[in-house]
Amino acid sequence: MAYFDAASAAPLHPVARQALLASLDEGWADPARLYREGRRARLLLDAAREAAAEAVGCRPDELVFTPSGTRAVHTGVAGALAGRRRSGRHLIVSAVEHSSVLHAAEAHEADGGTVTRVGVDRTGAVAPSAYADALGADTALAALQSANHEVGTEQPVAEVAEACRAAGVPLLVDAAQSVGWGPVPGGWSLLTASAHKWGGPSGVGLLVVRKGVRFAPRGPVDERESGRAAGFENIPAIVAAVASLRAARAEAAEQAGRLRELTERIRTRVPELVPDVEVVGDPVRRLPGIVTFSCLYVDGETLLHELDRAGFSVSSGSSCTSSTLTPSHVLRAMGVLSEGNVRVSLPPGTAAEDVERFLAVLPGAVAGMRERLGVPAAPSPAGRPAAPALTVDALGRRCPVPVIELAKVIGDVPVGGTVRVLSDDEAARLDIPAWCEMRGQEYVGEEPADRGAVYVVRRLG
């Protein structure tokens, strides 16, 4: 089985396993106690904090360990907002942040605060000028991920941090995807990360709050972790997490070169092997191991099952894999095709042979699905009378069926004629415009309907 979902959770690094087993014998006691076992545990915890701080680029007393990366984000956002409440209650986030950041933003809004969600371009990147324009006198905090978890696009953290510094606003950086590859550049004020993203055990997060940043922890606190992460520290897991971070950093240059070559092979060859594919994310400014693409006329959940049966573990941002039937918020913000979406995120050590086998299996899996769904072989059927306008009723039908039905009839209207697609699937709002761009047709727009919406397409050729 080839595991290609390292962006969700990287396989446990061998160094993490060794450190975990070794520290189980020494790090089980309460590090707050003064007896021998407690002192041993405290030494392990202090050494781990110093090593993590060195890797991140901060002081040891600025870093605390949390029970998860999500908890680090929630604590960091809430604490920074509370600490700067006198400055205002305005929060800035990007539209493609991890759900942990967006959920924290929603909680802030529910509590009476205001949130600006900065949009991104089709590669998934924010413009530093957009953050600068969003900054105001009442802005308490800005948040920006270092790199996107779904498409791999790296964000201009240093430029945004400079704009925030000039305005006197702290910047929180979610570095979960990138900190295993190297320190985050720029003058950020707060940073969060999660150990299972770089090959450490799950259940360990990092929260860094620079000295001078006003911070007020929310909720009940205790004396542990500077009052910012209540509860008994899981010292064996913390030691293993930091040991694997150091190991990942030591291997980063070599592994990044290998993975960039492999992901570039996928980015280049998938569109050559599979018709009607959109590769998304920045082609240059991206993480080494992530490549994401979307396939027209393909059900994302079924495609993932097909690839799983063929021996490949991949993930998807497609609405077809979601119980809510809504596209990934990242793909939606980018305005790219969501149906048949596949994210390949290669862990360090991935064999080139596994990538080649994936490229050999994918075309047949997609072709077989399209055949079963009745995808038209040609966009313009011969011998049918042309109508000036047609309506396709796709109510109650999930992606990619609305787009397939559009493709079937677009050739039945003359050049300049229109097709109106009635759909209540949220993915249609993304996928029909994306189909038009890929197939050289004109997307006229969306019209309201009693149920769902009407998407109007004009045939150009």
Q: Active-site residues: which are they?
A: 320
Q: Which residues contact 37 (CB under 8 A, 6 or more apart)?
A: 28, 29
178 contacts 287 by C-beta, under 8 angstroms: yes
CA 369 remoteness from chain centre: 26
Q: Which residues contact 179 (CB under 8 A, 6 or more apart)?
A: 55, 56, 146, 191, 193, 197, 198, 206, 245
Smallest CA-to-CA distance from 20 within 11, 28, 30, 10 is with 28
How many CB atoms neighbour CB 35 within 10 A? 9
Q: Which residues contact 336 (CB under 8 A, 6 or more apart)?
A: 122, 278, 280, 294, 430, 434
449 contacts 422 by C-beta, under 8 angstroms: yes
What are the structure tokens assigned to 420, written together? Answer: 């109106």
Measured CA to CA, the distance from residue 299 to residue 404 in angstroms comes to: 11
Tokens 């498409």 locate to: 151
Residue type, 299: D
52 contacts 261 by C-beta, under 8 angstroms: no
Measured CA to CA, the distance from residue 70 to residue 139 in angstroms comes to: 23
Smallest CA-to-CA distance from 379 within 400, 405, 341, 417 is with 405
